[in-house]
Amino acid sequence: MIDWKSEDYALTSKAKALAPALSEMRSPLAHLFMRANPVVDPIYILYSQPSIQVDWLMESTVDGATWQRRFSSYESENNRMIKIRNAWLKALQDVGWTPQFISSEQLASGILERQGNAVLVLPTAWALSEKECSRIQAFLKPSSGTRMLLFDGHPGQFNEHGRLCDNPVIQNVASTNDDLATAWGFGGAPVSFPGNFTEYLGNRLKKEATPDFSEWIQNKLKTLPLFPSGDFMVELPPQHRVRIHRYQLGEHLLVAFERNVDYQMNEDLKQAGGNEPLEKPIELDAQLSGTVHVYDLRTEKHLGETNQIHFTLSPWRPSLFVLTKKQFPDGSVVSALGENKDNTH
């Protein structure tokens, strides 16, 4: 960022290119988002260190005597478990959900049993402790709410120490095919995705995307009442590969749309590429679950009282809106929202 060879330590061209972004981060519009509460959905993706260790042992067997040369730079591009976890994450985001990660310790503590309707995702969860297994069983009890388990491969075949389990918690429903993704709700039969979901990461970045896996997830989760009554839903077809961010600001909902690119930074801090099909403007119609006043937060223009938002999404800059039951004069919505003391959290 700094040219150390110059007399006055001048900024480099890369540093100067960041000026617009850093300036916007200090704007009144940015302060609205900083004061708001990010909205996350009751979809929990397990991040299991024991499973990562077991997977590494199995994946490195093909290396033979050179296993110690399997550096992190190689893992980031070739590790199958990383790709599967990212496929689950991107598919959920492409549908419009904002999932959250939980650790093995959090799962074992019973955090999910205190939730209402929820989804637990087990991406290549090779290793589960006895306590985690019991918590998963409790999570799926019908008295707890409407729940669903999404997983791939053979969850819980090992315990947290990497030893084979005699009786895995979901042995009877686990697929015999590592390339199958499965959805299982208590009281129903497990249903597997009819295809190789591990190809989703590559398919979604093609010019003509094939969102079959994300659509399968969308259809499965559509049956679950994951949104509390009164919450607003914002929807886009998954083939657009757009990520939707929601923020609660008092009684108002801030919404940000951005292209859901797949960032893969290498050790030289150079973007690995592959997102070219997403690096083009796209016209969108986002559907809302009800009719509200919609304002474009960048232009501060009132787009009407409507149940959809028509806009052009730039590949480099998110589109920002507020959904509200109130009406503000054009050109005043950002300052009006910023002055409302009830919006702080």
Task: Give me the residue spans of the domains in the chain.
Answer: 28-39+228-343, 43-221
Tens digits of residue pLDDT in 234-255? 999 999 999 999 999 999 999 9
Tens digits of residue pLDDT in 198-219? 889 888 988 887 789 999 999 9
Task: Give the pairing type, strands 118-122 and 147-152.
Answer: parallel
Q: What is the CA 342 to chain-centroid distance, rounded?
A: 29
Determine the pLDDT at residue 345.
46
Pick from 172, 168, 190: nearest CA to 180: 190
Determine the pLDDT at residue 184.
85
CB-count exposure of residue 255 (10 Å: 0-12, 13-18, 19+): buried
Gap between the Cα atoms of 109 and 92, Å rounded: 25
CATH class of 28-39+228-343: mainly beta
- What's the chain's length in residues? 345
Helix (H) / strand (E) containing 87: helix 80-95
Gap between the Cα atoms of 56 and 138, Å rounded: 29
Determine the pLDDT at residue 287.
95
HSE-up of 162 (CA within 13 Å, CB side)?
9
Determine the pLDDT at residue 222.
82
Gap between the Cα atoms of 175 and 127, Å rounded: 16
Tens digits of residue pLDDT in 27-70? 999 999 999 999 999 999 999 999 999 999 999 888 888 887 77
Determine the pLDDT at residue 171.
59
Helix (H) / strand (E) containing 303: strand 301-313
Gap between the Cα atoms of 78 and 84, Å rounded: 11
AA letter at 36: A
Dihedral Cα 46, 48, 51, 56, nearest 10 deg: 110
Sheet order of strands, 191-192 included: 100-103, 43-47, 118-122, 147-152, 181-184, 191-192
Q: What burial letters (b/e) apply to 314-344, b meaning 16+ CB within 10 Å?
A: eeeeebbbbbbeeebeeeebbeebeeeeebe
Determine the pLDDT at residue 318.
95
| Ranges of the chain with pLDDT below 50 | 174-175, 229, 344-345
Q: Which CATH code, of 1.10.3470, 3.40.1710, 3.40.1570, 3.40.50, is assigned to 43-221? A: 3.40.50
Residue 235 in tokens: 């929807």
